[in-house]
Structures are given as C-alpha cells and as structure tokens.
Structure 1
Amino acid sequence: MTSHDPVVEADLHAYVDDQLDVARRIEVEAYLSERPDVAAKVMADLRVRDELRLALAGLQSANRMETREAARRLERSFLRHRSLDVFRRAAMIAMFVGAGWMAHSAFGPLGVSEVVASVPAPDFVHEAVKAHQTEALRRQMSSQIQSPTYDPADIRSATAIVLPELPGEWRVSDAQIFPSAFGPSVELAVEAEEGNRMSLFAVRPGTFAVQNVLMTQQGNTNAAFWQIGEVAYALIAETNDADALANTARKLARTLY
C-alpha cells in the first residue's frame, strides 16, 4: 500500500539514512528511477555514508566509543545538509583524533576508495564472470563466430538495458545476449588497447539501487561493478591493476547520466 504523498528532500535524506519503512522506500526508489540527476546525487551520498561506516567498523578496536559516536553524529548531520566535501574532511578528522595516525597508515590520507572497500559481490557479478569466461572460451573455438557489430538502441529495445557509451578508441570484438538468473543479459567483449581485453556485462537484477563502483576479485579475475536504477553493470578483466579497472568503470558509469 502506498501513501501517494509527494517525495520531498526530507524523504531523500531519510532514504540515505535507512530511516524509511519498506513502502516509503519503494516510493522513493520509483521517484529516483524517473529522475537520473537526483538519483546520481543520492548515489553520491550513499557512497560517502558507506565509506564512513566502513572506516568506523575497521577502527572499532582502536577507536574510543566517544569518538565513534562523534563521527556518527557528524555523519547524520552532514548527510542532512548534503555538505559532502566538508563532511569527508570533518568525519575523517574526527576518526584520526581518536585513533591516531595508525588510521592514517591503514587507510591512506583522508579517504577510503572503493577498491579498498571490497565487499562480497552480488549474484549478478558471478553471472558476469561466467559470461566473461564463456566469451574467452568462444574466442578459442574456430567454429564459434564472433559478432563485433552491436546496436545499443536495438539492445535497449529488446532487453530494456541501457549500455554505457564506450570510449572511441575501444573496439568491440563480440556482442552477445546471455541468459541469466535475472533474465536476458548483455555481454560485450572489448579491447581498450592492444592485449588489454575486458568484458562489459549488463543485466536487470530485479531490484532498484543506486550503487557506486565497487570491486571484487575471483581468482585472477577482477570485477568492477555498479548499479544505476534498474540496471546493474560489471566490468571484468584479468588484471593486477584493480585501481585502473575501477577508474575505467567510473568513467563508463558517468556516461549513463
């Protein structure tokens, strides 16, 4: 049952703070799905909130209770006012005062990146890795014909999946529609430069979310994954440079707004 009340700024703040009931969250997510610019701002707030919570969790053994509570008050206060740059500095300063420069050596200067903040991957990332491995197998088989030509508009019409704009120097070597546990998915095999092969995977996982780029690793395979609205994405590569892969994924994500 929905309230039909208009979504206001206070609802967005409460959404970031996890203070809404399920019914109201659904209404806010429906509102965000129709307003990508607002969704992008909310996604930025969620990122800052999660970075601070991750840092607080990592410092529990060294940080005093008073300092953790002060940082949490800063988090709530600055999220309400959306002063993101000031919030980052103030929250980190509060933690450094309580934990000392040990926090500085553990997390680096004033920040926790998404690469450091590696989290358990959602199910769609496992699907993306399987699609990446399948493409690598197809590439080795002379009987399997690759399809380097793809039409983003045609893919969107057939699957309701919007693909990011690829850099002009990238070459698509194969484009496939894969079945997945979530319905049709899209997998593009791309070459960013000579010998640098990646797979871009996109799927509608059945949930709405605004999630900045995060990283996970499965064996020798790194995956940068994110979600914008009803479509989730993963950039997969066998690389030792997880930071570069994450930065590439962020650039792709920005083309979707």
Structure 2
Amino acid sequence: MDKPQIPAPIVEEDLHAFVDHALEATRRKEVQDYLDRDPDAAAAVAKFAAQRQLLRSALAPIADEPLPERLRVDSLLEHRRSSGPSAWRTAAALVLALATGTIGGWHMRGALTPNGGIAVLAGEAGSSYMAYATDPADGTDKAGLLRLLSDKLQRPIEIPDLGRAGYQYVGGRLVSTVHGSAGLFFYDSADGTRMAVMIRPMIHEKEAPMMEHTAGNVGEVTWAARGLGYSVVGTEAPRLLHPVADEVRRQVRSKTPT
C-alpha cells in the first residue's frame, strides 16, 4: 500500500508566492492550512499582502502615466554626450533622488496606514478566496454556519442574498485572519463564475467607502460600514463586481436601525 505523501515544509518563499497568487491549488491549500495553525505566520502574510496592495494602489496612477521625455533613456544618453561627465553624474543623482523619494514616500504612506484597515482586509479576502474557492464547504446548513459566525464575530451575521445580482449561494465557512475570525460566503453565477463575500469586524476604518483592488487575476471591491468590513472578491474585474457589492451594501443599509 502506498504511503500518503507528506507535504513539503512551508518556507518563506511559499508565503510570498501565496501572497502573489503564484502557487498551484494543492500547495496553496497546504499553505493556507499552515497559516490557520500558525498565527505568527498568518500575521507575516497579512503584512506582505497589505504592503503589496498598498504599493500597487500607490503606484497605479504613476504606472498609467507616460514617462516624461527628459527621463527616457535615449534622452539621458543624448544629454550625457552633449554635456559631459559632470552632467551625467547629476542626471544619475536625480534619478537616485527620485527613486529614494518614491520609496521614502511609500514607507511614510505605510506608516500612516492603520493596521487592520481596508487594504489589509482586501489582502486577506483575496488570499482566502484563492485558498477556498474550489472547496466552499456545504451550503445546506445555513443556520449552523450563522450561529458559529455570530458567536465568533460577536454580532449577528446574515448571509447576503445575491439572487438579484445573478449569483446563488453555494457554501460558506469560518476563516481565520491575523485580525480575527471572518465569514466567507461563496456564490456561483449561471455560467459557473464563482465569487465570494468576506465579512469581518474592523479594528480600524470602521466606516470606509468602496475601494477597488486588483491582485493578479483576482478583483475586489472592499468597504466598511457600522464596524464590519466587506469584500466582494472573484476572478472578475472590480467594475464587474461593483453591482454585486452595491447589492450587499443595499442589504446592509436596509437593516440599519432607524
């Protein structure tokens, strides 16, 4: 009889690949199980994910802009030929200063971003979606799942009904994040597209407007209301997930005490 294969030890490269959505499904599940057992590793991965998302968000506007003519390589080389070595050293120093300023600004931005905010929630939701999208758990025992989630999250939790948005509930589970327990609900569209809604209590940014996030082939719309963070996540572009997020938000608002 063949012996069951023992998973290879989880190393730091696996954690970075997990954040970058670069692991194949089996290995990703092994890493997720490891993170569920190791709070310190989960904390490290949450920081990696938050830094990745913040860097992407911070640089997105710059990435879409054309490179100024004066900073193109051919322009710098021409300037060097015409102005001599002193000008070339000045140009190199300018490029270094620009890079240092960008990095310095990035570190300052990270220092001012509250731990546990919307960007962190987006990273956690994306990682959980990738880990469990192929194994959403049985969707028949809604009552039992809601009792468990309401107990762990210490507030009443409801499963969003997304029929109006074209998605049917297929299953959900309790997931662990570095900032506490969260509910993860999965839905399928008529053509088999799977998306999820993550809900967890927010430590910071308890009220926050909708923000779009993209990491690899995973898109998200994330926001916070009344102390709960919400992330609609899937393989669709954020603009296609927005109607679903709007429906979730509408249902949340309809239950707001008047």
TM-score scaled by length of structure 1? 0.46
TM-score normalised over the length of structure 2: 0.46
Which structure has greater helix proportion? 2
